Amino acid sequence: MRRLVVTENITSDGVIDQAKGWFQPIDDDDPDMVAALAKQTAGSDAFLVGRHTFEQMRGFWPRQRHDRTGVADYLNSVSKFVISRTLADPEWEGTSILTGDVTDEIARLTSAPGKDIVVTGSITLVQELVRLDLPDEYRLFVYPVVVGGGRRLFDADDRVRQLELLEARAFRSGVVLLRYAPKR
């Protein structure tokens, strides 16, 4: 059975919205972080995104030819699923458009054989997945920056969510990987 894994780059004050330009992609100068990402990609065979994030990614990743981090190779070869009611043609090989109810679509994907399904970016979609208690794991790459405002992974609602720490790992850059599983 597959798992749904939310992976986000997040600020120290909990913001995942990158509108203020705080995020700096990793490069091969941080081999431990590159290895952590490689481990994640080796453990997954599907990538889930919302339409907006997908459109941004499809305009960038398929054109990358000298990406030594392996992200371009992974994204160009993995099965990609886009949750959208408006996207007609994905224009990126290996992409399927999912138009049904989110809970039903995720149930169908996770019941199929395979490895993890990773979802990243896609703030609106991820917040919906969180609200529906669908993620099996959260992988948060916490960046040592405070932006003071912006959209957060766990948006304001009245629910308390208990999480079990699976891993805490600091990288040379100051980024910390925190892996959590929801306690259900």
**pLDDT under 70: residue ranges of the chain:** 26-28, 156-158
Spell out the domain ranges in the chain.
Answer: 4-182
pLDDT for the residue 2: 94
What pLDDT score does 66 carry? 79
Q: In degrees rounded to 5, what are phi and psi of residue 54?
A: -60, -45
- Using CA atoms, how far apart are residues 34 and 46, in angstroms rounded to an integer? 19
Tokens of residue 180, six digits? 């959590």
Mean confidence (pLDDT) of the chain: 90
Q: What is the CATH number of domain 4-182?
A: 3.40.430.10
Cβ contact 8:120 at 8 Å? yes
Please give, one letter per residue, the 3-state secondary structure of 18-38.
Answer: CCCCCCCCCCCCCHHHHHHHH
For CA atoms 42, 3, 6, 51, the dihedral sign is positive
- Please give the torsion angle defined by the CA atoms of residues 78, 180, 57 and 143, in that order, rounded to the nearest 10 degrees: -140
pTM check: above 0.85: yes
